[in-house]
Amino acid sequence: MLQITEVGKTFHPLTVNERVALRGVNLHLDEGDFVTIIGSNGAGKSTLLNVVAGRHMIDQGSVVIDGEDVSKQPEYKRARNVSRVFQDPMAGTAPHLTIEENLAIAVARGRGGGLRRAVTHARREIFRTELKTLELGLEHRLTTLVGMLSGGQRQALSLLMATFVEPRILLLDEHTAALDPSRAELISRLTTEAVARHRLTALMVTHNMNQALSMGNRLIMMHDGEIVLEAVGEHKKSLTAQHLLDEFSKIKGAQLTDRTLLQG
Amino acid sequence: MIIALELGFLFAIMALGVYLTYRVLDFPDLTVDGSFTTGASVAAVMMVNGVDPVLASVCAVVAGMLAGTVTGLLHTAGRINPLLAGILTQIALYSVNLRIMGRANVPLLRETTVFTPLREAGLIGTWVSVGVMVLLALAVMGLLDWFLGTDMGVAMRATGDNEEMARSQGIATDRVKIFGLAISNGLVAGCGALVAQFTGFADISMGIGLIVAGLASVIVGQAIFGSRTVAISTFAVVLGSVIYRGVIQVALNVGLNPNDMKLISAGLVVVALVLPRWEPVRKWRTARSNRRISDEADLVDSVAGSVN
């Protein structure tokens, strides 16, 4: 479904600010795979999602979605197959548009904007049915401006907008990190439900170890632009937060010895 | 005061164009000063050469759309800041407009214009001509309302509201911006063509400072009538245009010089931007309505946006 092959990305190349974000990353996802990604800050997790989404163009390697090489495709074209939920709850919705207008954009995704009415009676019925699955009562507030909603409500709406046209790939970039624990819990549950219901292939970046362990069927750990640990199926299920923390400190320790050697 | 109503509703077409860029696309477009005159020039020269006034006006709209497209390309393909992109096109259009007209002023007094039937019947300056202007303005307003309710229109609004989100939802935001600028300047140029026919001449300086009149209409109108929905917003813009012309007319009636009008216009915009942020007014507005997303924040944003 998704083949990331030897992907490299460097920011600000040939300047003092040069930073290698991805070093020849390989990752292959089958249909229905749900991969959680952990790693320290600057490990390249978000960059990995951004190169799949097309927000950053890659320097080398290729990104293939469903057999089609999309490495050079602009972001808006990839949106036909790839949808995203951002960390910032404000980022995934348009605040001065109503709930139904936001949903209309998601419904028209990839079909290009035609001159048909964005909000029709038929579409409204679909919106109501879909909003009901969020259990937030938003189905009664179709004409409310999205800017009036809370962060949790907006994030739930973003998730719905990202999933209900059944994208090939769903990218989640720490999408529960900015929410309070109970809202984060709700969004996690809704994510699991949506992924299962639409049988989505998903990549989820998280800083929450327990979330990384409890969700999805695969887990990868990234460090310094590389995938340093991969766990699938039973192996993933056997992992505990302590395992992951030990792995973390092993990598950190290794790095420390490298530095000490260099300095010596 | 009839003249203020006539001009208010006539210029509302331009103000609706400004609304589309400034409010919907969040793109303060200064092309307007140039494209208004472009519309007037194209229509005037064509009519002098015997072209049917309706066809000439349509060509003016097309010319304005081209001007908007240029600004759009400068901004999207050329990655030039919106304000600068607009200024560049505006300055370039000054020369283009002189080329089109061949001189600084083209009189239309003996030509047949779209307003000739009204003029010959002696109805200019009466409630009949006001009615015609109202119908024109409402027709354009209705078209714009309709467009902004379509998939493409909602995509345009999303692009101006949250570009990141729009792109992630598969909207080709660059194309949408170019298209929006084209429609906006098409309206502005069409308005220029009508104004030239109404006043009986096209002049190279007729568009100078017009963006301020457009902004005044949008900001004053929405400060008074609100912007909860597209329909309310566009209606507010039309009424804002009428209020603006009314203020100008009052200023003229109390004996101010026509040359002072730019100062009055700029002052009006400043008042409309600052007043809603003034504490007593804010309290009064909050008390009056808690339902709306705060317009004050909007205005603060837009000021900050224009400064950037």
Could you read off the pLDDT of B236-267 as tens digits, one per residue?
Answer: 999 999 999 999 999 999 999 988 888 998 99
* Tally of domains in chain A: 1
Residue B175 CB coordination number (10 Å): 16
- A200 in Cβ contact with A2 (< 8 Å): no
Residue A206 covered by a domain: yes
Q: Is B297 on the interface with A (CB under 8 A)?
A: no
Instruction: Assign residue A82 a region (left: φ > 0; alpha: ψ between -120 and 50; beta: otherwise).
Output: beta
Q: Which residues of A touch B222 (CB under 8 A)?
A: none
How far is CA B211 from each of CA A44, A236, B30, rounded to the nearest angstrom?
46, 62, 6
A79, A95, A148 ranked by CB distance to B169: nearest = A79
Residue B132: what pLDDT? Answer: 96
Q: Is B226 on the interface with A (CB under 8 A)?
A: no
Give CA angle at B117 (B140, B244), nearest 5°.
45
Q: Which residues of B touch A94 (CB under 8 A)?
A: 157-158, 161-162, 165-166
Domain extent at residue B82? 2-307
Residue A243 covered by a domain: yes
Rounded CA-CA distance A62/A70 in Å is: 8
* A90, A96, A144: best to mutate for the B interface, most B CBs within 10 A: A96
- Asked if pLDDT for residue B116 goes beyond 90, the answer is yes
* Tally of domains in chain B: 1
- Asked if pLDDT for residue B303 goes beyond 70, the answer is no
Residue A41 covered by a domain: yes
**Mean residue pLDDT across chain B:** 91
Q: Is B157 on the interface with A (CB under 8 A)?
A: yes
Q: Which residues of A touch B176 (CB under 8 A)?
A: 113
Query: Residue A63 in 3-state DSSP?
Result: strand
Q: Is A165 on the interface with B (CB under 8 A)?
A: no
- A174 in Cβ contact with A205 (< 8 Å): yes
CATH number, domain at A240?
3.40.50.300
Tens of pLDDT, residue by residue over A177-236, are: 988 888 899 999 999 999 998 899 999 999 888 889 999 999 999 998 999 889 888 888
Residues 6+ apart with CB under 8 A from B256: B264
> What is the dihedral sign for C-alpha B188, B194, B199, B205?
positive
* Lookup: tokens for A116: 């048909």
Q: Is A81 on the interface with B (CB under 8 A)?
A: no
CATH number, domain at B80?
1.10.3470
Residue A221 covered by a domain: yes
Residue A100 covered by a domain: no
Tens of pLDDT, residue by residue over B190-232, are: 999 999 999 999 999 999 999 999 999 999 999 889 898 999 9
Residue A114: what pLDDT? Answer: 86
- Asked if pLDDT for residue B31 goes beyond 80, the answer is yes
* B165, B228, B293, B295: best to mutate for the A interface, most A CBs within 10 A: B165
B155, B162, B171 ranked by CB distance to A95: nearest = B162
Task: Compute CA B6 distance to the chain's CA centroid, rounded to the nearest angstrom.
Answer: 16
How far is CA A123 from each of CA A3, A240, B231, rounded to the nearest angstrom?
35, 44, 21
- Asked if pLDDT for residue B275 goes beyond 90, the answer is no
Confidence grade of residue A238 (pLDDT, cut at 50, 70, 90): confident
Residue A112 covered by a domain: no
Query: Residue B258 in 3-state DSSP?
Result: helix
- Asked if pLDDT for residue B12 goes beyond 90, the answer is yes
Tens of pLDDT, residue by residue over A111-143, are: 767 899 999 999 999 999 999 999 899 999 999
Give the type of residue at A58: I
Q: What is the largest CA-CA distance in chain B?
A: 59
ipTM attached to this prediction: 0.89
Domain extent at residue A197? 2-92+167-263
Residue A88 covered by a domain: yes
Chain A nearest-CA residue for B298: A96
